[in-house]
Amino acid sequence: MHPVTEPEGAYLASARQHAVDEFIRIRREIHAEPELGFAEHRTAALVADKLEGWGYAVERGVGGTGVVGRLVRGDGQRRLGLRADMDALPMAEHSGKPWASRRPGVMHACGHDGHTAMLLAAARRLAEDSHWSGTLVLIFQPAEEGGGGALRMMEDGLFERYPCDAVFAMHNMPGLPLGHLQFREGAAMASSDYATITIDGLGGHGAMPQHAADPIVAAASLVMALQTIVARNVDPQQTAVVTVGALQAGQANNVIPAQARLELSVRALDAGVRALLERRIRALAASQAEGLGCTATVDWRRGYTVLVNTPAETALARAVGLELVGAERVTLQGPALTGSEDFAFMLERVPGSYLLVGNGDGEGHCMVHNSGYDFDDRNIAVGAAYWTLLAQRFLTA
């Protein structure tokens, strides 16, 4: 394996004292054998075996394929949860890396392989470290990519069997400088809901539209009307997204079909705005269809909730970041993101914070969910050092 160079900076001083080559190999191994949500059998077994070897009490199969490792040290009463996600995406990889996916149509395009490796590296260091006292709970979650693995683990009794006083998670972010840490108190990531709107009309001959009720015209009118929700119903100081990602209707140019279907993605950073979006979408679908002689049916599917970072835990997360990498490599209150993350469900149950680590902003560092994406291995040292220091500070407070 080629040696891995590290970015310059004192923020890696601690990490350089601990070998991360083993975890770079693990990350690349996971990357080459990606697994979709609730099918992370190989990855989960690797994680569980490593944790058991370092002395953690391990439970496998939590919420399907989730893994939880617990380590208790000293007489400290505080309980800290750290979470990493393990699943890959259903897309083909074109990164050209030697460790690229060997599974057609599946790739780690969001860096969950790196998140897993970072937390494993921290797990080993914390198992060897005596500078903390309390309970450490490491949560390796399946199916973050739309599968709701966090909910499944919680429904399976995650926090009943492994109670935590606070829980934290970290995600890489292309576009931020490598190793840069970004925090945000309050709403940090959007809710995600999905709707299928089916418009039923009356089919007919394209040359005689007066004998039909055209669902395509109703669908087109609805697409334009939906744009007014964010522009005219949502407070301009709030954030919302209504995206029509698909409009399907008809097959021939001289046939008016009987039905059209729209697929929507709906996002908000506030629970009230989230509810408003649903009400207005339903109302507009009904009125636009009725006005053109059609009917509309809305199939609304609630997805992830708004991710809200709590103040005290975010303050601690920031302090650890400043101590580790210095103020020049920290954004204390970054912008909210309209992407979604099911760690939000854990934060509804337990206080905590979700932070970002830069995956690079130069050439070759493309955005996540891109077929050319790859996690930057140099961040394994950064992530491991961050989790280690956070655990030390939280479990000795």
Residues taking part in catalysis: 87, 144
Residue of 359, 384, 355, 352 whose CA lies nearest to 110: 359
Structure tokens at 244: 């029509």
Residue of 269, 261, 268, 257 whose CA lies nearest to 244: 261
Q: Which residue has the tokens 């004998």?
A: 211
Q: Please give the sequence-ordered ranges of beta strands (E in DSSP) within 74-225, or none if there are none.
A: 79-85, 134-141, 166-173, 181-182, 186-189, 191-200, 204-205
What do you get for the CA distance between the two ends of the chain, in Å? 40
**Strand 134-141 vs strand 166-173: parallel, antiparallel, or unpaired?**
unpaired
Query: Is there a contact between 195 and 300 (Cβ–Cβ < 8 Å)?
Result: yes
Helical spans, DSSP H, in the chain:
13-16, 21-32, 41-53, 112-128, 149-155, 158-161, 215-228, 271-291, 311-325, 343-349, 379-394
* Side-chain half-sphere exposure of 139, counting CA atoms within 13 A: 32
Q: Report DSSP state, residue 58.
A: E
**Identity at 384, one-letter amino acid code:** A
Structure tokens at 81: 């949860």
For residue 57, count other CB atoms closer than 10 A to its CB: 12
Cα(247)–Cα(261) distance, integer angstroms:
6
Q: Vertex 127, ends 124 and 133: CA angle to 5°?
A: 140
Structure tokens at 64: 């399907």
Strand-pairing partners, residue 264, are 195, 244
Query: Is there a contact between 162 and 68 (Cβ–Cβ < 8 Å)?
Result: yes
Four-residue CA torsion sign, 342, 347, 350, 356: positive
**Identity at 369, one-letter amino acid code:** H
